[in-house]
C-alpha cells in the first residue's frame, strides 16, 4: 500500500533550511560513525513518486547543477516521476520526468499514487508543502533526521500545529551525531 512520507533533515530548533534557504549547514554534520549513515538507497528503493516545492527545486538546480549535468539527477533519482509545486516558471532538467504543477495537493496526490504503483510517495520539502498534505489528510509519516545544529531562523520543518494525539513515534535510530525519528500521523 502506498504511503506518503515526509523524509527530511531538520535542525534541533526545527528548521530544514537556514534564513537564506540554504542546506549547506546539513553537509557539515557527521551522519556516520556509531550507528552508520542512514540507508538512502534502501529508502529510495521504496519510492515510486516524489514531489517538492519550488524553493527546494531551485536550490537543487543552483547547488547541484542538474540543468548542466542531468545525468547526476538520474544517478540519484533514476526515472522516478517528480512533481514540483510552483507558481513561477522553472526550467525542467533535460531528460528527467519533472512535472510542474500548482494548486491543491489532493488531485496531484492521486496522480502520484497512480504513478507510484504501490511504492511510496516522498515529499522532499519544503515544510509548507508537507503541511498542505497534512492539512488534506494525505500525509502518513514524518521521517526526521535530527541534526545537532541550531539555525535560529529559517524554513520550519512543518509549519502546522500537530499534537501528540496526531502523531505516534514508531522508530528511533542513531546515525553518528544524527537521530532519525519516525512518526505515523493519525488520521
Indicate the range of 23-37, 124-138, 163-177 predicted with least confidence.
Answer: 23-37
Write a three-state SS string for 127-180: HHHHHHHHHCCCCCEEEEEEECCCCCCCEECCCCCCCCCCEEEEEEEEECCEEE
In whole angstroms, what is the distance from residue 146 CA to residue 35 CA? 14
pLDDT of residue 54: 96
**% of the chain surpassing 90 pLDDT:** 86
* Per-domain residue ranges of the chain: 4-9+20-26+33-119+134-153+167-178
Q: Is the pTM of this model over 0.75?
A: yes
Contact 42, 177 (CB under 8 A): no
Q: Does pLDDT of 37 surpass 90?
A: no
Q: Which of 182, 181, 139 is nearest to 160 (CA)?
A: 139
Indicate the range of 1-15, 26-40, 105-119 predicted with least confidence.
Answer: 26-40
CATH number of 4-9+20-26+33-119+134-153+167-178: 3.40.430.10
Distances (CA, A) of 29 to 10, 15, 32, 81, 155: 11, 15, 9, 29, 18
In whole angstroms, what is the distance from residue 10 CA to residue 157 CA? 6
Q: Taking the CB of residue 37, how many other CB atoms lie within 10 A of it?
A: 12
In whole angstroms, what is the distance from residue 183 CA to residue 161 CA? 15
Residue with cell 517538492: 52
| pLDDT tens digits, 85-94 | 999 999 999 9
| pLDDT tens digits, 173-187 | 999 899 999 999 997
| pLDDT tens digits, 56-78 | 999 999 999 999 999 999 999 99
Length of the chain: 187
Distances (CA, A) of 49 to 27, 36, 120, 148: 25, 27, 7, 30
Amino acid at each position: 500500500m502506498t504511503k506518503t512520507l515526509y523524509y527530511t533533515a531538520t535542525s534541533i530548533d526545527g528548521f530544514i533550511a537556514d534564513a537564506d534557504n540554504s542546506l549547506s549547514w546539513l553537509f557539515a554534520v557527521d551522519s556516520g560513525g556509531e550507528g552508520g549513515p542512514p540507508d538512502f538507497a534502501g529508502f529510495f528503493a521504496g519510492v515510486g513518486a516524489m514531489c517538492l516545492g519550488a524553493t527546494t527545486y531551485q536550490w537543487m538546480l543552483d547547488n547541484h547543477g542538474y540543468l548542466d549535468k542531468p545525468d547526476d539527477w538520474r544517478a540519484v533519482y533514476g526515472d522516478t516521476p517528480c512533481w514540483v509545486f510552483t507558481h513561477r516558471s522553472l526550467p525542467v532538467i533535460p531528460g528527467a520526468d519533472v512535472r510542474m504543477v500548482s494548486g491543491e495537493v489532493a488531485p496531484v496526490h492521486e496522480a502520484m499514487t497512480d504513478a507510484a504503483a504501490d511504492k511510496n510517495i516522498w515529499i522532499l520539502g519544503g515544510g509548507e508543502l508537507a503541511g498542505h498534505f497534512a492539512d488534506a489528510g494525505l500525509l502518513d509519516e514524518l521521517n526526521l533526521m535530527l541534526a545537532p545544529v541550531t539555525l535560529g531562523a529559517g524554513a520550519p520543518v512543518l509549519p502546522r500545529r500537530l499534537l501528540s494525539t496526531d502523531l505516534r513515534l514508531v522508530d528511533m535510530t542513531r546515525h553518528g551525531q544524527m537521530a532519525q525519528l519516525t512518526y505515523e500521523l493519525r488520521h
